[in-house]
Amino acid sequence: MKRIVFMLIAAVILACGVVFTNPAAGRANEKAAPTYGIKLPPGYRDWKLISVAHEEGQLNDIRAILGNNIAIKAYRDERLPFPDGTIIARLAWRYVPSEENNRVFGRPQSFLAGPPTNVQLMVKDSKKYAATDGWGDAQFEDGKPDDTALLKTCFPCHEPVKARDFVFTRYAR
Amino acid sequence: MKRIVFMLIAAVILACGVVFTNPAAGRANEKAAPTYGIKLPPGYRDWKLISVAHEEGQLNDIRAILGNNIAIKAYRDERLPFPDGTIIARLAWRYVPSEENNRVFGRPQSFLAGPPTNVQLMVKDSKKYAATDGWGDAQFEDGKPDDTALLKTCFPCHEPVKARDFVFTRYAR
């Protein structure tokens, strides 16, 4: 059972491409991700914050979820499904302890964003991505799109949150 | 020793006001924080992301550090000291596990932003806050400024990072 669980985790990590490297601030990439033809949007590093999260295990990252203006407006208006043009960007960094902060706190308790690991995008286009309920996915490592055909398997993982238009992240008030 | 460490932690938490509640998105507050006369800036929830972090222990939060345009420019230009007008905002939320995500991952590994806990501000004004090396601090809980005189003791905690103009957070590339 434990083995199955780990294989499942590995499958999810590979399939949903949760470990990729994010590029320098605002750097756009001209290369399109192969599966959905999505490019890294210019200025995404400047987008507004949706929420933050931490993944343990093999991911071992701390992440910020940002949204373009269409995404942010939809979140704040609690509008579902998300309108076409919505782009949600997940930026992740290696999860690292902060010795500097821990000295101030007097105990090991502080964890920060280390080196960048990944950027994932969810792009809403109800016509273009009709086959995947209107969402196209992309993954970028150091600004370069992920080549794997496994990207196609991202979508099924989002099925449990179909009621929220397949988006896991909730807006942090 | 353990007792001293815990007392130190308690002192830091009280003094630096690391547990406060953040208001709804973009809500400004007309009341000024008592110690430095700082108000919650309108639209701070829309500011750009500097970095993310997680604090264990009594804080038990996950946080985003945002900056106004002056702060972001200074960070990206690696400009030190930060220029007057810089405002750095720490928003924190209760650190909560996500059962929803864990089911997808097949193991308990996912932690998200729960209810808001605090907003802290660092405001740079080299004349107004000359006595504290140019920085004024403020803390807001549910949009209301913290009343405690302990706010005055925020500043000494930042002494270890004097070389970075007393700012702990580094920009997450």
CATH topology of domain B2-164: Chalcone isomerase (3.50.70)
pLDDT for res A26: 42
A73 or B15, which is more confident?
Answer: A73
Mean pLDDT of B157-168: 95
Mean pLDDT in residue range A138-157: 81
Tokens of B73: 């420019």
For B97-144, the pLDDT digits (tens) are: 999 999 988 999 999 999 999 999 999 999 999 999 999 999 999 999
Quick: pLDDT tens for A1-24.
Answer: 444 444 434 333 333 433 333 333
Residues 23-82 of A with CB under 8 A from B: 24-25, 45-46, 48-49, 51-57, 59, 62-64, 66, 76
At A163 the pLDDT is 96
The percent of residues in chain B predicted with pLDDT above 70, rounded, is 76
Tokens 């701070």 sit on residue: B44
Mean pLDDT computed over A90-114: 95
Percent residues over pLDDT 90 in chain A: 69
| Residue-level pLDDT at A7 | 41
For B87-129, where are the E strands, in sequence order? 87-97, 110-124
Measured from the Cβ of residue B101, the count of other Cβ atoms closer than 10 Å reads: 20
Cβ within 8 Å, pair A105-B54? no
Q: Give the mean model confidence (pLDDT) for residues A135-158.
A: 83
Task: Please give the average per-residue pLDDT across A126-151, as a whole number.
Answer: 87
User: Which among A22, A57, A168 has the least Cβ separation from residue B107?
Assistant: A57
Scanning every residue of chain B, which has its alpha carbon at the shortest distance from the alpha carbon of A46?
B48
Q: At residue B62, does pLDDT exceed 80?
A: yes
Whole-angstrom distance, CA of residue A132 vs CA of residue B87: 42
Q: What is the mean pLDDT of chain A?
A: 84
In whole angstroms, what is the distance from residue A173 CA to residue B119 CA? 12
| Residues on chain B touching A8 (C-beta within 8 angstroms) | 105-106
Per the CB < 8 A criterion, the answer to whether B81 and B96 are in contact is no
Are B139 and B33 in contact, with CB atoms under 8 Å apart? yes
Q: How far apart are CA B47 and CA B37, in angstroms?
A: 21
Q: How far is CA A67 from the centre of its chain?
A: 10
Q: Terminus-to-terminus CA distance in chain B, angstroms?
A: 38
Topology of domain A22-164, per CATH? Chalcone isomerase (3.50.70)
User: What is the pTM assigned to this prediction?
Assistant: 0.83
Give SS3 for B68: coil
User: Out of B52, B63, B95, whose CB is closest to A63?
Assistant: B52
Rounded to an integer, what distance in angstroms lies between the CA atom of residue B22 and that of residue B63? 11
The beta strand positions in B17-86, using DSSP E, are 48-55, 61-67
Could you state, in order of their start, the residue ranges of all structural domains in chain A?
22-164
